[in-house]
Every structure is written in structure tokens, then in C-alpha cells.
Chains A and B, each alone.
Chain A
Amino acid sequence: MPTPTLVHYLILSAVLFTIGTAGVFVRRNIITVLLSIEIMLNAVNLTFVAFGRALGSADGQIIVFFVMTVAAAEAAVGLAIVIGLFRHRESLNPDTFTTLKW
């Protein structure tokens, strides 16, 4: 097997991002959709760290720090919304929340 280079890390990141994208569409459960978004955020983090290593800069890791902060905020607010929705509809299926659908 070849020694991993930057391209290998980027391909791994692309595959993980694709899995996250597919998960957002395939699953019919809001919590799993949020988990898929976390997978996508982590794929992007891997890209940042790999590029930071390749360019000899620590800035990539600092951006990862900020991405993790935003992910924590997103998870907190998203799960609060999920709790509120479940209280109204007794369901986690996104297809049941159609009040705003035109």
C-alpha cells in the first residue's frame, strides 16, 4: 500500500463527506440527520488538519477549533428544536413537519 500523502487524506475526507450527504437524504429520522451533519463537519475538519500539515501551518488546527465550537452550538440548538418538535407531533420523521410547506 502506498505511503499516505495529502491526496489520500483528502480522498478519505471526500468519502466521509459523501457518506454524510447521503445520510441527510436517506434517513427519515431527525436525530440521524443531525448525526450525518456531524459526519460532514468532521470530514471538513480532516481536510483542514491535512492541509495545515502539508503547508506547515498551525492555522488549520485553529480553524478546526472554531468548527468544533460551531458544531457544539449547532448540536445544542438543533436538539432543542428536535425536543420541541417531538413535543408537538410525537414523531421524529421530518415528513410529518409540513406546516410551513407551501
Chain B
Amino acid sequence: MGSDTLFYLFGAIAIGASLAVIGQRNPIYSVLLLIASFGALSGLYILLDAPFVAVIQIIVYAGAIMVLFLFVVMLLNAPHEETEYDERVHPLLRSGPTRFGVALAVALMVELWWALTKGRETGGFPEGSVSSVAAIGRSLFTDYSFQFEVTSVLILVAMVGAVVLARREPRRPRSPGNP
């Protein structure tokens, strides 16, 4: 199976799984389907000669972030979406933000498709590998070292923020005169 066929295979899996993610009402299935979509994208990254991104896509995205999502879905124990819409009605015929959102998405897709197919055909990708992990690491710790350090502060802030936001409110001490 050539790499051309693999592109179409992975692309179809990514699109199909993403469509299924937003078509699901059970968030657990949504999360699992999104992991499948991320796996297909990881294959696309390998086709694009980016093995480092492919590996961190699996480890960080599918491994860490999606497990966090699954953890929250199971912790909250509210699997089914309560919905006031009739699910059999076509999304374009529903009222309110749903119709607006679907129309916006269709317009965006048409516009992007038009813009991309209008352009000059670029031909194939240039030969030669650009993406050895050593080169990425060297660039990350020299040219992008400041951004890398800023990232560590961002992670710290996110960690502290998540702890503060998800903390249970401390029970206020009841004063004796107040019932």
C-alpha cells in the first residue's frame, strides 16, 4: 500500500471520527472517537515526515489530554446530553444557535475549499528530510528557548488555576450565635 493510499485512508478516518465526535450524545463515545481521530492524524504526521510530532500527538494528546477528559466525564457521571431539541430534525431546520452554527460551518468550508482550490498547484513536497528530532531539539533550546521557558510558566499557572477552580469550597465555620 503506497503512501498515497495511506493519506486518503488516514484522512477518511480523521474526518469520519471527527464527524462522529460531534454527532454523539454520549461524551464517553465522543472522547474515544476523538482518540481514533488523533491516531489517524498521527499517521498523517508520519506521512509528512514529522515523527516527533506524531509521537507527542499519541503520548500527549491521546495519552494525557484525552485521559483527562475521560476522567472528568466519568467523575461527573452525567453521560447523556439533555437536549430540548428533537434530534430527528435536521440541524439546519432547528432554531437558535444550532442553525447559525451549521450555516457558519458550511460557509467556512465552502470559502476555504474555494480559496484552496483556486491557488496554483504546488506540486509535490520537496525531497529530503527536514525534521530530525535532534534538529528540533537544538532549535527548541536555542532559537526558541525564551518561548520554551514561558511555556513552563504557562503550565504552572494552568496547574495552580485548575487546582483553585476545582477545589471544593471550604466549609465556613459556623459562629455560635448564628444558627
Count of A interface residues, CB-CB < 8 Å: 73
Main secondary structure of the interface of A (DSSP, over half): helix
Chain A residue contacts of B161, Cβ below 8 A: 76-77, 80
- Residues 86-106 of chain B: 1 if any A CB is under 8 Å from the residue's CB, otherwise 0? 000001000001101110111
B177 interface contact, C-beta 8 A: no
**Count of A-B contacts with CB under 8 A?**
242
Q: How large is the interface on B (under 10, 10 to 19, 20 to 34, 35 or more residues)?
A: 35 or more
Nearest CB of A to B18, in Å: 5
Chain A residue contacts of B119, Cβ below 8 A: 7
Chain A residue contacts of B75, Cβ below 8 A: 83
Chain B residue contacts of A29, Cβ below 8 A: 25, 27, 81
Q: Are B4 and A4 in contact (CB under 8 A)?
A: yes
Among candidates A34, A52, A54, A73, residue contacting B155 with C-beta atoms closer than 8 Å: A73
Nearest CB of B to A76, in Å: 4
Among candidates A10, A32, A66, A70, residue contacting B21 with C-beta atoms closer than 8 Å: A32
Q: Are A21 and B56 in contact (CB under 8 A)?
A: no
If the complex has contacts A39-B21, A53-B48, A72-B158, are A8 and B69 also in contact, measured as CB distance less than 8 A?
A: no
A73 to B160, CA, bound (A): 11
23 pairs, CB–CB < 8 Å, chain A vs chain B:
A1-B5, A3-B124, A5-B122, A12-B15, A14-B108, A14-B113, A18-B105, A19-B18, A20-B22, A32-B30, A35-B27, A39-B34, A42-B37, A54-B122, A58-B131, A61-B131, A71-B61, A76-B158, A76-B161, A82-B76, A84-B165, A86-B76, A87-B168
